[in-house]
Structure 1
Amino acid sequence: MDPAAARGVLTVGDRRFGYYRLEGAGRTDLERLPFTVKVLLENMLRHAASGAGLVSPHDVQALAAWDPDQPGECELPFMPARVILQDFTGVPCIVDLAAMRDAVAAMGGDPARVNPLVPVDLVIDHSVQVDQYGSQAAFLINVEREYERNGERYALLRWAQQAFNRFRVVPPGTGIVHQVNLEFLADVVTSREAESGEPLAFPDTLVGTDSHTTMVNGLGVLGWGVGGIEAEAALLGQPLYQPMPQVIGFRLDGQLPVGSTATDLVLYVTEMLRGHGVVGKFVEFYGPGLSRLSVADRATISNMSPEFGATATVFPIDDETLRYLRMTGRRAEVVDRVEAYAKAQGLFRTDDGVEPRFSESLGLDLGEIRPSLAGPRRPQDRVALPDLPHNFRAAFDLTDAGRREAAPEAMPPMQGAIDEASEGSFPASDPPSYTRDRDKAGESPAGEARIGGGAAQPAAAPGRRVGQQGRLGKVQVEMDGTTFELRSGAVVIAAITSCTNTSNASVMVAAGLLARNAVARGLRTPPWVKTSLAPGSRAVTDYLGAAGLMEPLEALGFNLVGYGCTTCIGNSGPLAEPIAQAIEANDLLGVAVLSGNRNFEGRIHPLVRASYLASPPLVVAFALTGRIDMDLDREPLGLDRDGQPVRLADIWPGAAEVAEIVAERVRSEVFTRSYASVFDGDERWAGLPVPPGDRYAWDPESTYVARPPFFEGVTSEPAPISDIEGARVLAVLGDSVTTDHISPAGAIARTSPAGGWLTERGVEPRDFNSYGSRRGHHEVMVRGTFANIRLRNGLTPDVEGNATEHLPGGERMSIFDAAERYAAEHTPLIVLAGKEYGSGSSRDWAAKGPFLQGVRAVIAESYERIHRSNLVGMGVLPLQFLPGETAASLGLTGHERYTIRGLAERLTPRQRLEVEVTDDDGRTRSITAIARLDGPIDVTYYRNGGVLHTVLRRLASA
């Protein structure tokens, strides 16, 4: 086949576009291919025709032969049209690019060649915290604190804005990356000038450094989350590799019943798909029910792809897509191009169209959906609203709704400060920092296991002993002159937050109407509830204000606290001190109700043990009750001014009124106005210092940004690979060790290695911020590697936290201190692990940190997809035990020395390598492990020391 022969001409109005016809791929029954496969096929066909050599005609033929019953085993290249970043993951990307410019210059090349080759947008949304709430001043105060904490990082992004081509920044206080992408950035079908001068039209595709990048799938745009290293490779023009896609069809029939919301629907879908098993697969919706779902409803479902494990969750382009594009202010020429292109390529869905063939299928009648929540610890654990009291009591072994004190053994084990480990885990959005006031005064968070300094010594503060539990009860609290009873089951956080739901005008208007009706009956929220409103774009507060709904929301404490992720990712800020003290002193079971997408224990707030995901109107309802252990179908929310009970059904808004307000107030001019100056920012942004020049002027005094050592000493040709000899084990880890265990995002303890380093440089503990905010500085991050307070290391089984043994002597110390000592002894390191190593957040520092600590290989039972790729991308060898074998079954304790042979020879994908294991008494035995270099490109990256080294050598020699 000749991919270039597939080029055709598409006429849209008076404009002509080149495009690559899918028929040119040689497939005759294109109408039976899923939308997902067709978009991937066009991507490969177009890039194969470019002649760049990154995609071959053979690759195109392999996908064109896609068979749902026999998907095949090959790895296929994907070259996204653009890349999207958020600030937590974007800052280290920019730091790497700046360092690459320095390295290219040192190698005699042109540093300006280090530039994005595809458009890149970075949206600053992850840093704002809910420090202030419940007042008109909350937004401005929180923004001020955000700049105080992060001004140095933001100055780097301001520099990048002017230093790099095709790179734009959406400043703080604007919106959440996925909602901004949905409402403004995404084109659905994009157009770029080709070398011929004729514009080329093709589907908008992307990857992003946040798992919820999938939200834009609801608009018919294919994209998903990747690690930072993969994102850097993509923006520098390298293809990403995916296995032959498996596409799960999900048929929808009927329509949502009155009283049910898109949030209720997504919780049903999450439960079903999690149970079905779709990890690593694509999900595609079809059926007549799609025509009764708005794009906002679809985006709510697509947003939660990581929660049920899918790579992406796609809704094909249809009339509703076009309506949404018009409603959000897209230009008429863009909408016309989307319609013409989609219909020309067979990408436009209609109710009477041919149903595609899928790898597997399942379905749901929308009429079955009932009001629901999910929790208390996992997003897939849906619970019907009437069953909530029983669900809560059963989850925590409570009697009488927690009013009676439970036995200590009744509390299930804490899963970790920010522990996202669960079976079939998935790449996640980062859960950032939380710092209590006492930490600001220099105390460590409870449970931080700081073992020694540079010198070996016994554990002085061993942290929370494994199995330690608390007690439940109730207590009288006095706050602001009021005394009230606080007990287990109290809702202490009620947050309308997250792009998952705030992008959906129907549920936001419903929340406003419920608040209006509650206020009219005289209801108020109890004093222990921390309420907040953090929408994903300014359009939300615009239409709520115009509809007169902001005022009643504010009357209940739902004041605007920021336009950012906030509570959804754990930036809920401190609870009122009397509340926090009461919970801690009495081991009360605090509850959060939020309109977010994640609710792992400890994620939302360290003092919250139960978190429930709910629609925005239900968040308002539970804020009014102040407790979770009640049946809102039967029990009243409270009493009105006349002492009469007010039930949820009494104030729940009617569907007709919601639809009327949405139609009247959610119009194109709202979005046009909100995004008119989206890249400009406020006076704080404009006033940030911008370092001049195309190469970043590194400040040696900075504790936020530093040139990383990854590219030091890189030569034009890679050095030959040698075997790994005499390696010691830095940590022996179990199953489902997450990237947050490896590289935590949260608070930096004063007594931790990172805290000590910051203190030595004059940083006060109150200004430590978080590991997530300091990802631009390798000295902080390498000290934070394996520093999660819930890490369990088999070398130190009696404690949780940052601890290991230096071998062979067995001295206990922090993992960083041990790594430093091994480095001084020129001893390479490995890690032993169980199943699903690297699950959780798509966090590149979980590969970068171990690399800087001297880890040269990991031997695990299995890997999460993105983390395996990140390890290869950093030149760390991922090895896998043979099927049925584990460290335990092989008798490996971690006290041995390891030599990995066969690397110096001709390395091939998935090669079996000999690992020589030597006990301390000198006895030697051999085991076999599989090199998880899954394709030829992985071998190339590994031989070059990583993907960025590969790209660097290409740029320097050009």
Structure 2
Amino acid sequence: MRMIGQDSLNTRRRLAVDGKEYVYFSLPEAGRALGVDLSRLPMSLKILLENVLRFEDGRSYTVEDARAIAAWLEAGHSEREVPFRPARILMQDFTGVPAVVDLAAMRDGMIRLGGDPQKVNPLVPVDLVIDHSVMVDHFGRPDAFRRNVEVEFARNRERYTFLRWGQESFNRFRVVPPGTGICHQVNVEYLAQVVWTDEVDGTTYAYPDTCYGTDSHTTMVNGLGVLGWGVGGIEAEAAMLGQPIAMLIPDVVGFRLTGRLPDGATATDLVLTVTQMLRKKGVVGKFVEFFGPGLDDLPLADRATIANMAPEYGATCGFFPIDAATLRYLELTGRDAHRIRLVEAYARAQGLFRDATTPEPRFSDVLELDLSTVQPSLAGPKRPQDRVPLVNVARAFEEELTKSLGVSPQEATKRVPVEGTNYELGHGDVVIAAITSCTNTSNPSVMIAAGLLARNARRRGLTTRPWVKTSLAPGSQVVTEYLEKSGLQADLDALGFNLVGYGCTTCIGNSGPLDERIVEAIEGNKLVVAAVLSGNRNFEGRVHPNVRANYLASPPLVVAYALAGSMRVDLAADPIGHDPDGKPVFLREIWPSNAEIARVVEGNVTREMFRTRYADVFKGPPEWQAIAVEGGETYRWNDASTYVKNPPYFEGITPTPAPIADIVGARLLALLGDSITTDHISPAGSIRKTSPAGQYLLERQVRPEDFNSYGARRGNHEVMMRGTFANIRLRNEMVPGVEGGVTRHQPSGEVMTIYDAAMRYAAEGVPLVVVAGKEYGTGSSRDWAAKGTRLLGVRAVIAESFERIHRSNLVGMGVLPLVFREGTDRKTLGLVGDETFDVLGVADLRPRMELELVIRRADGRVDRVPVLCRVDTADEVEYFRHGGILPYVLRGMAKAA
């Protein structure tokens, strides 16, 4: 644990459980000290308040922060930011690799400072789960899992070798190896503790388990009463190194649940209904908190399914309070008995436990859903919030086909033979049916339902259509165990739903290749084919480049559509198929009842399964254990690597930072408009041969087919900085009428790539600035959007407004975010790109101070413009003074050593 605050409000109290004593910071006592009845404060905000109480130091955390959270009750709204530090960090391998690269680089930097590299370690527990790399290369065969594992390790050996070193070298850093499960399911089933404990100077402290994750679906753990959400890499690294992250005290939308799910409706149908309702309501940047009597009959796994999809309904998180269902789930999943008793005792002492006596919280707004009204549904063909009741799916697809999917009515019924087969393919045919994703594979009821549907279909002699690529990728090994124990895995196997791997697979686009003959039919005839998956995202192009219609569905409906083979079959009314005697078989005839599903779950999902499967969770398969660890306390960097490279953040670092200097004589690298996204700044997709990154890879004998993506190469700064501002749709107003990452070098006037211009300016010793419009840095929190900006030599970004997280990321990388005053922008100033810029007053930097921007024109005119410096806090001033958060932390570690 990083620190314990000074406790100005005198809230420190003791709690005894099984004879063991814990110290905690009492929320009821805080309410008394602040003169506020906190009983109706939303549970999620109580956790934010406890965080302030525990770390309160009069500087980063203050009594006024606590008072502001308590005062939220007055209006259900606040404009104040407060700091927050999670108890731990969760990572997946794609986003985790660059974070571990930075830690490894910090160890090299520590040696440059004459310190002990062993001092560089995460200050909070970090778990990295390798789950994003397995692809469905092999499927529909008994050895699919083994074959896919072989391909995965061959494809990712370089990255895995690096992570294997990190697992051995860093304290408080654990790696869950490939083939174990999906990070969010492993989090809910094993990593999460609900109440965290730490020993500091001989005293054991208890506090809420909270979590930042470098994946947006970290929100799944909210179903367990653990407050957590996804963040970008820089925020995660900052939290990992003990730094508080400022956040606006959010609005909290209450979602009241009543009733219980009817027969035939699943947790997936429920979450698609919730997603549609909340998207319509508008909850971006808000917390959603579930409450009401409907929770009494809502299992923990169903809650986790709903919490998982918070990014799809737009909320920061979808939180469920701790209650009896939480305790039952902890028991089922094999948690320690003492921990379970601690969870209940602590939650009750803090007013965080929901039962019949709990006062209804005050919310910013409230929605309500009667669970009995939920219908079987899918969502698609392009967005998670576009829910379609099952009874309307076929008709809705017909409408989409000739509207948003662009097929003419004359072509809509076209079917074409697939060469070398005995079948035809047409619009709406399902070519991918995937039981995948943490969203649903964490839920035994829907997985058992899929198995029972497969069993019933098999008994009626039904088989899946030959053009459907079927796959089963559970989020943990426990799923395989209970499917095998119940005998249902054999039924799924018989329909082609063999185990293909433990990972996200199809849900993140790792669906693997389709049969080349099917691809030829699709591409040659411009067919609109479909995928049905039990995932959380279905954006066009995400699942497979040849699949334009993508539908989210429950696992049993995935099986059903594999049997039907087409979105144009009305599963509510038409036969799903015919038995060997030619008799029609309807979905309603083979759909299992809720009672049958419950009986199979009760008889086959056991506590012992969880305890056994997670007993050696960090050991990994033989392929993982066989990877040789390279290097010792510092990593042995391979200069030839195109995936993992030592970044230059700490080259030439000195024990104390140089004084902050004003920016003088800067040139404009890019002149940009409104709503520039982090994807504009740092694309995550494919790498073009003609791009600077493509040329870099070609020079190193990497074949274009092996380029992979910017996302997969996030551990190599040379690739990523060449990809900064390289989006093919970027429009730089310095080069009118041209799309892509190009700019005009001054004073030569030559047009070149932004990367080449930045390197030329660097050789000339010229600092750079970027000027933009409103909402700069919107979209995903992408750390390389700030890292790449810094590495190109940009000293300041001057915009009309910033997206909150990207602004803090820029500061975290030592880049100055500046905001034009109202009425001033690039257009009123008449900027064209041949100007030079000075930013004066930086040497005396203070939070949110006004600085002077001096614009020197090519014709000799000079404008002096006030700009607001968006370095917002005293901590951020320190980060900036040190050149970024990583140098700041490193110098502190070296000094402490």
Same fold by TM-score greater than 0.5: yes
Q: 1:513-524 alignment to 2 at 5 Å?
A: 513-524=452-463
Aligned to 1:455: none
Match for residue 316 of structure 1? 321
Asked whether the equivalents of residues 175 and 618 of structure 2 are also in contact (C-alpha less than 8 Å), the reply is yes
In structure 1, distance between residues paired with 2:349 and 2:888: 39
Q: Contact between 1:729 and 1:832, CA under 8 Å: does it hold in 2?
A: yes
CA pair 830-628 structure 1, distance change in 2 beyond 3 A: farther
Please report how far the alpha carbon of residue 235 of structure 1 lies from its aligned counterpart in structure 2 after TM superposition.
1.5
Q: What is the TM-score of this pair, normalised by structure 2?
A: 0.93
The alignment partner of 2:758 has SS state of: helix
Correspondence 1:755-770 to 2 at 5 A: 755-770=694-709
Match of 1:282 among 279, 287, 305: 287
**Closer, same or farther: CA 59–206 of 1 in aligned 2, 3 Å:** same
Name the structure 1 match of 2:298.
Answer: 293
TM-score (norm 1): 0.88
Q: Is 1:36 matched up with 2:41?
A: no
The 1:63–1:719 alpha-carbon spacing in structure 2 relative to 1, beyond 3 Å, is same
Distance 1:733 1:173 in 2: 44
Query: Which residue, out of 307, 310, 313, partners 2:312?
Result: 307
- Given that 1:494 and 1:619 are in contact with CA atoms closer than 8 Å, whether structure 2 keeps it comes out as yes
Judge conservation of contact 2:771–2:798 (CA < 8 Å) in 1: yes
CA contact (8 A) 2:7 2:54 kept: no
Instruction: Check 1:893–1:293 CA distance in 2 against 1; reply closer, same or farther (3 A cut).
Output: farther
- The alignment partner of 2:223 has SS state of helix
Aligned equivalent of 1:708: 647
TM superposition shift of 1:898: 5.1
In the alignment, which residue of structure 2 is the partner of 1:786?
Answer: 725
Shift of residue 608 of structure 1? Answer: 2.2
Q: Distance in 2 between matches of 1:347 and 1:785?
A: 45
Letter in 1 for 2:874: P
Instruction: Say which of 260, 263, 267 aligns to 1:262.
Output: 267
Are residues 1:211 and 2:211 paired?
Answer: no
- Could you tell me which runs of 5 or more consecutive residues in structure 1 were left unpaired when the two chains were aligned: 407-471
Give the partner amino acid of 1:362: L
Q: Secondary structure at the match of 2:141?
A: coil
- Shift in Å at residue 223 of structure 1? 1.2
**Of residues 224, 231, 251 in structure 1, which corresponds to 2:229?**
224
> 1:660 deviation in Å?
0.7
CA distance in 1, matches of 2:830, 2:268: 47
CA RMSD of superposed structures (Å): 2.7
Where in structure 2 are the equivalents of 1:356-435 lying within 5 Å? 356-398=361-403, 402=407, 404=409
Q: Report deviation, 1:925.
A: 4.8
- Give the Cα separation in 2 of the matches to 1:932 and 1:385: 49
The amino acid across from 1:956 in the alignment is A
- What's the CA shift string for 1:748-783, capped at 9, x where partnerless? 344432232222223333433332222111112112
CA–CA distance in structure 2, aligned partners of residues 15 and 62 of structure 1: 34
SS at match of 1:357: coil
Stretches of structure 2 lacking an aligned partner (at least 5 in a row): 1-5
What are the Cα deviations for residues 796-842 of structure 1, in whole angstroms up to 9, with x where unaligned? 66565554454566655443233333333434334444554433333
Residues 35/155 of structure 1: CA separation in 2 closer, same or farther (3 Å cut): same
| Aligned-partner residue type, residue 267 of structure 2 | A
Report the CA distance between 1:890 and its aligned residue. Answer: 3.5
Superposed CA offset, 1:682-741 (max 9, x none): 111111111242111222222222110011122233333334445444445555544334
**Which shows bigger deviation, 514-523 or 112-121?**
514-523
For structure 1, which segment, 135-144 or 84-93, has the greater mean C-alpha deviation from structure 2 after superposition? Answer: 135-144
Moved more, 312-321 or 235-244: 235-244
Listed as ranges, the matches of 1:439-450 within 5 Å are none
Find the aligned partners of 1:139 and 1:362 in 2 and give their Cα distance.
Answer: 43
- Choose from 512, 536, 542 the match for 2:481: 542
The equivalent position to 2:840 in structure 1, one of 902, 911, 919, is 902
Alignment partner of 1:165 out of 143, 162, 171: 171
Distance 2:400 2:673 in 1: 25
CA distance in 1, matches of 2:153, 2:231: 28
The residue aligned with 2:418 is: 478
Partner of residue 126, structure 2: 120
Q: Which amino acid aligns with 2:760?
A: R
| Paired residue type of 1:264 | D
Letter in 2 for 1:537: S
| SS state at 1:259 partner | coil
Identity of aligned residues (%): 60
Partner of 2:889: 951
Cα distance in structure 1, aligned partners of 2:404 and 2:235: 49
Q: Which amino acid aligns with 1:511?
A: A
> Aligned letter for 1:30?
L
Aligned partners of 2:856, 2:193: CA distance in 1, in Å? 58
Q: Is 2:64 the counterpart of 1:55? A: no
Kindly indicate whether residue 94 of structure 2 is the aligned counterpart of residue 88 of structure 1.
Answer: yes
In the other structure, the counterpart of 1:422 is none
Cα 1:918–1:217 shift into 2, 3 Å: same
* Alignment deviations for residues 77-126 of structure 1 (CA, whole Å, 9 cap, x no partner): 21211111111111111111111111122112222221111111111111
Shift of 1:917: 4.8
Q: Secondary structure at the match of 1:83?
A: strand
Distance 1:521 1:839, change over 3 A: farther
Output the CA distance in 2 between the equivalents of 1:309 and 1:909: 31
Answer 1 or 2: higher relative contact order, Cα 8 Å, separation at least 6.
Answer: 1
Q: Which amino acid aligns with 2:172?
A: R
Give distance in 2, aligned partners of 1:803 and 1:484.
49
Aligned equivalents of 2:438, 2:404: Cα separation in 1: 36
Partner of 1:939: 877
The CA deviation at 1:3 is: 4.0
Counterpart amino acid of 1:40? L
| Pair 1:906–1:292, CA change in 2 (3 A) | same
- Per the alignment, in what secondary structure is the counterpart of residue 383 of structure 1? strand
CA contact (8 A) 2:686 2:708 kept: yes
Deviations 1:659-685 (A, max 9, x none): 111111111112112211110011111
Give the distance between the partners of 1:642 and 1:837, measured in 2 at CA. 64
- The equivalent of 2:600 in structure 1 is 661
CA distance in 2, matches of 1:578, 1:806: 49
For residue 42 of structure 1, report the CA deviation from its aligned partner: 1.6
Partners of 1:873 and 1:348 in 2: CA distance: 37
SS of the residue corresponding to residue 458 of structure 2 reads helix
- Of stretches 9-18 and 310-319 in structure 1, the one that deviates more from structure 2 is 9-18
Q: 2:228 corresponds to which letter in structure 1?
A: G
Post-superposition offset of 1:626:
2.3
- Checking the alignment, whether the CA contact within 8 Å between 2:197 and 2:205 is kept in structure 1 is yes
CA contact (8 A) 1:131 1:574 kept: yes
Q: Which residue matches 1:271?
A: 276
Determine if contact 2:178/2:620 at 8 Å carries over to the other structure: yes
Q: State the alpha-carbon separation in 2 of the partners of residues 914 and 487 from structure 1.
A: 63
Question: Out of 610, 616, 627, which is 1:677 matched to?
Answer: 616
Following the alignment from structure 2 to structure 1, what is the Cα–Cα distance between the partners of residues 404 and 757? 47
Residue pairs, 1:681-830, within 5 angstroms: 681-733=620-672, 735-794=674-733, 801-806=740-745, 811-830=750-769
Matches within 5 A, 1:131-280: 131-195=137-201, 197-280=202-285
In structure 2, the CA distance between the partners of 1:819 and 1:405, relative to structure 1 (3 Å rule), is farther
Distance change (3 Å), C-alpha of 1:845 and 1:222: same
1:798-877 superposed matches below 5 A: 801-806=740-745, 811-877=750-816
Per the TM alignment, residue 864 of structure 1 is displaced from its structure 2 partner at its CA by: 3.3
Q: How many residues align?
A: 888
Name the SS of the counterpart of 1:66 in structure 2.
Answer: helix
Corresponding letter in the other structure for 2:637: W
Q: Which amino acid aligns with 2:40?
A: R
Which amino acid counterpart does residue 79 of structure 1 have in structure 2? R
Moved more, 571-580 or 852-861: 852-861
Amino acid at match of 1:315: F
Deviation at 1:383, TM superposition (A): 2.1
Q: 1:12 to 1:806 in 2, by over 3 A?
A: same
Query: Does the Cα contact within 8 Å between 1:149 and 1:767 map onto a contact in 2?
Result: no
